[in-house]
Amino acid sequence: MSNSSSITEFLLLAFADTRELQLLHFTLFLGIYLAALLGNSLVLTAVACDHHLHTPMYFFLLNLALLDLGCISTTVPKAMANSLWDTRAISYSGCVAQVFLFVFLVSAEYFLLTVMSYDRYVAICKPLHYGSLLGSRACAQMATAAWGSGFLYALLHTANTFSLPLCQGNAVDQFFCEIPQMLKISCTHSYLKSFWVVVVGVCLASGCFVFILFSYVQIFRAVLRMPSEQGQHKIFSTCLPHLFVVSLFISTCFFAYMKPPSISFPSLNLVVTVLYSVVPPTLNPLIYSIRNKELKWAIRKVVSWMFLNSDKFPLFPEVT
């Protein structure tokens, strides 16, 4: 029996054995990572610099972009470095840091998506009270609560996971240190010690899911009562991207953590993990901006300023 105190490093999943495929994996992940950095950085800059976007919805979107940047930066660079240098190793402390940061950022993102659904609910169902319910102080408090809740849950989950004795070696069957894979190499009899943490997580996730579901039921009821098709289109342009992001996030996370062992095999685990850890941070800027004219115009002004260093000659014509 091995113990966590005697392990100084873990071995991550190797994507390929040949050097050519390793370099291909590095190039692919590099492209994805740069796309995520570019997209989320443009959203951050556009929201921060355009005073028209200084509203609660875009304030929460700015926080989401920050979380997405942190999430993909926690996992992908190490996988890229391992492929480039033909190694699988990650230090014990590095693995602990990956688990903590990933759980922190993913949990905070889920809580923030819940807050964002509340923002849409108030904006559409209680528009007259929007300013009082979602003032700057209330928005800051809700965002802080999302970040703080994610931090506390990650601290709890990480401490519990790395307190378990390890009996199955140090090979992690994933391209980053992930809690389900860490539990697989821990001793079987120690699973019960982590059960209460799982229960806490399931309760929190279920509560947020019910709240999001309730919010969107009320939103769609309000939209269907609207006589104006233009008003319906404007609401759908802000709600549907958020609903799509929430659906993708919840479905992939739920499948990754709750799928039965009978359908658990390396290639499926890898695909599902990429879907919830790599794809959302890359696609979220595109999803939120594709139907949002205000955000698209702000991003175009940022791009214009970057290339021409002047807002007098925009790179793209103004969207009306």
**What is the value of pTM for the model shown?**
0.88
- pLDDT tens digits for range 30-65: 999 999 999 999 999 999 998 889 999 999 999 999
Given this model, what pLDDT does residue 1 score? 41
- pLDDT tens digits for range 81-121: 999 998 889 999 999 999 999 999 999 999 999 999 999 99
Q: Which two tokens stand for residue 240?
A: 């549907």
Q: Which two tokens stand for residue 149?
A: 């809740």
Given this model, what pLDDT does residue 196 score? 75
Is the distance from CB of 107 to CB of 70 less than 8 angstroms?
no
Instruction: Calculate the average pLDDT of the chain.
Output: 85
Given this model, what pLDDT does residue 309 score? 64
Domains in the chain: ranges and CATH: 4-308 (1.20.1070.10)
Given this model, what pLDDT does residue 255 score? 75
Given this model, what pLDDT does residue 319 score? 43
Given this model, what pLDDT does residue 238 score? 72
What does the buried/exposed string (b/e) look like for 222-260 if buried means 16 or more CB atoms within 10 Å of the residue's CB?
A: bbeeeeeeeeeeebeebbebbbebbebbbebbeebbeee
Spell out the per-residue pLDDT of the chain, length 320, in tens: 445 557 888 999 887 778 888 899 899 999 999 999 999 999 999 999 988 899 999 999 999 999 999 999 999 999 999 999 988 899 999 999 999 999 999 999 999 999 999 999 999 899 888 988 999 999 999 999 999 999 999 999 899 888 888 887 888 888 999 888 888 888 766 556 667 777 888 888 889 999 999 998 998 888 888 777 766 777 777 787 888 888 888 887 777 777 666 666 667 778 888 888 898 899 999 888 887 888 889 888 888 887 776 444 444 444 44
Q: Which two tokens stand for residue 243?
A: 């609903």
Given this model, what pLDDT does residue 28 score? 93
Given this model, what pLDDT does residue 242 score? 80
Given this model, what pLDDT does residue 318 score? 46
Given this model, what pLDDT does residue 102 score? 95
**Rg, Å, the chain Cα set:** 21
Residue closest to 257 by CA, chosen among 181, 153, 165, 151 = 181
